Amino acid sequence: MKMWSGRFRQPLDPDFERWQRSFSFDRRLLRYELAASSAHARALKDAGVLSSEELISILQGLQQIGEQADASPSFLNDDEAEDVHHFVEKQLVALIGETGYKLHSGRSRNEQIAADLRLYVRTAIDQLRHELAELCAVLGDRAEQAGDTAMPAYTHLQRAEPVLASHWLLAYVEMFLRDAERLADCRKRLNVSPLGSGAVAGATLPLDRAFMAETLGFDGFTANSIDATSDRDFAMEFVGALSILATHLSRWAEEMILFSSQEYGFLGLPEAYSTGSSAMPQKKNPDLLELVRGKSSRVLGNAVALMVAVKGLPLAYNKDLQETQEQLFDSSDTLLQMLPLVAGWMKAVDFHFDRMQQAAQSGFMNAWAAATYLVKRGGPSRLAHERIGKAVQMCIERGCELKDLPLEHLQSLSPAFGQDFYESVQLLSVLAIHDVPGGTAPARVRQAISTTRKKIDLLREEVRTQETHAHA
């Protein structure tokens, strides 16, 4: 039986009927639909709408539906179900008879879909944060293994200053930790129950909203029924946070692709995550990286599609909102599949630390440190900059580095240059310059590795407790 056919004189056009269904994609919300329906059934009993026997029979029926779905996915091949809500009602009635029709008393699918989606996003956030923590842990290990290896840091993709390779790797950890935090923030705001909001103006029965919220692990219930049934902010925040995460992964992938090229030679691609060419026998291609970069586009596209679907809607529920589900699923599936692969790649990649170290020695990346040498001798920074710029020019003409310029040449630019200049432009001295808490000197980077590890452990711990609470 349809959920709404009473006032209709004509059947639906069969093509339209098929086309408007959402069960092909919202079937994945089944476990949340069952959980929310159980909470609703209990509230109905407390409101005096269901007898104890009816409640027990409904709860058992709902449980059985879940078990059957787990046991055989083909149980969900239902060509008549309009959506997951209709499917549950149909199956419940098939299992327990007419009492099954009592479950929908006082509620609307508009609040149900809002509740199901919040529960879905909450679980996805917990899983994504778990994967992010694991990826960060791998990056932390690799940073530690890099030891005191130096490499060029780039701005404008030109060699800028030498840094420790570990400092470079920790930059990615920072991005992914922020992503995890953004998701936690989204989780905080979404964790309120819309149940009891009805279709738009509240439930038609005195259902205990606090009780239903608590049963489902929500921190409380929504304040306004019109907002609650039409709000998809949590969905937009979620795909928004995922877009930023996908952007980070895409930048990461792009950089690794560059660094794997023979022109850089900073890393060897792990064979387990690369493919060959059907034509050129010598090729090893960075497919994982390219697909990470490529798939990030669909995550960004989903965010735009979702927001555009919502932006023209008057309050409250409109069927357009059905079109906001697949973007959620696709963005979260895409990243949930991607993150463990990225972690696997990161674990397997072969860094060419010798090449990095060698690249850190040339290209005048000590020029700023050289200018600072003059500043420390009391020169104005602008003039020091100018003089070292001239010294670099001399080097380019002679085909050498700053350390190779004879002292007389340097002194022709400024009398402040002394023999100790040569020591100050050596790689180790340049690396050691920023020696304050939060600085980039090797000892400070070692500290950063250990504080970062603590942050990662904290995230892991948070994810563990959240998972236990949500699934208790």
> Does residue 277 carry a catalytic annotation?
yes
Q: Considering only residues 83, 89, 161, 330, which one is a binding residue for ligand ARG as defined by CB under 6 A?
A: 83
Task: Report the SS3 class of residue 163.
Answer: strand
Of 46-54, 293-301, 321-329, 411-419: span binding ligand ARG (CB under 6 A): 321-329
Long-range contacts, stretch 443-448, CB < 8 angstroms, 24+ apart: 445/164, 445/166, 445/167, 445/170, 448/167, 448/170
**Side chain identity, residue 295:** K
Closest to ligand ARG by CB, 83 vs 126, is: 83
> Does residue 469 carry a catalytic annotation?
no
Q: How many residues bind ligand ARG (CB under 6 A)?
A: 11
Closest to ligand ARG by CB, 309 vs 430, is: 309
DSSP alpha helix (H) spans, 261-399: 287-311, 325-348, 353-359, 367-376, 381-398
Give the nearest distance from C-beta 118 to ligand ARG in angstroms. Answer: 13
Give the nearest distance from C-beta 279 to ligand ARG in angstroms. Answer: 47
Of 91-99, 183-191, 318-326, 463-471: span binding ligand ARG (CB under 6 A): 318-326
- How many helices (H) does the chain have, and how many strands (E)? 19, 6
Give the nearest distance from C-beta 182 to ligand ARG in angstroms. Answer: 26
Q: Considering only residues 99, 110, 149, 302, which one is a binding residue for ligand ARG as defined by CB under 6 A?
A: 110
CB distance 173 to 81 below 8 Å: no
CB distance 124 to 332 below 8 Å: yes
Asked if residue 321 binds ligand ARG (CB under 6 A), the reply is yes
Closest alpha carbon to 60 in 28, 116, 100 = 100
Annotated catalytic residue, options 72, 261, 277, 362: 277
Half-sphere exposure in the Cβ direction for 79 (13 Å, CA): 2
Closest to ligand ARG by CB, 20 vs 393, is: 20
Q: Considering only residues 156, 319, 454, 471, which one is a binding residue for ligand ARG as defined by CB under 6 A?
A: 319
DSSP letter string over 424-458? HTSHHHHHHS--STT--SHHHHHHHHHHHHHHHHH
Closest alpha carbon to 372 in 357, 392, 387, 394 = 387
Give the nearest distance from C-beta 229 to ligand ARG in angstroms. Answer: 9
Asked if residue 68 binds ligand ARG (CB under 6 A), the reply is no
Give the nearest distance from C-beta 127 to ligand ARG in angstroms. Answer: 22
Asked if residue 116 binds ligand ARG (CB under 6 A), the reply is no
Closest to ligand ARG by CB, 328 vs 388, is: 328
Annotated catalytic residue, options 52, 74, 156, 278: 156
**Can you give the C-alpha Rg of the chain in angstroms?**
30
CB distance 147 to 431 below 8 Å: no
Give the nearest distance from C-beta 52 to ligand ARG in angstroms. Answer: 30
Closest alpha carbon to 363 in 156, 168, 166 = 156
**Rounded Cα–Cα distance for residues 434 and 427 (Å):** 13
Asked if residue 22 binds ligand ARG (CB under 6 A), the reply is yes
Asked if residue 322 binds ligand ARG (CB under 6 A), the reply is yes
Partners of 351 in the beta sheet? 267
Of 108-116, 118-126, 156-164, 203-211: span binding ligand ARG (CB under 6 A): 108-116
Q: Considering only residues 109, 130, 167, 209, which one is a binding residue for ligand ARG as defined by CB under 6 A?
A: 109
Of 106-114, 290-298, 402-410, 420-428: span binding ligand ARG (CB under 6 A): 106-114
Q: Considering only residues 113, 163, 216, 306, which one is a binding residue for ligand ARG as defined by CB under 6 A?
A: 113
Give the number of other Cβ atoms within 10 Å of residue 155's Cβ: 8
CB distance 113 to 30 below 8 Å: no
Closest to ligand ARG by CB, 20 vs 261, is: 20
Residues taking part in catalysis: 156, 277
Residues that bind ligand ARG (CB under 6 A): 22, 26, 83, 109-110, 113, 317, 319, 321-322, 325
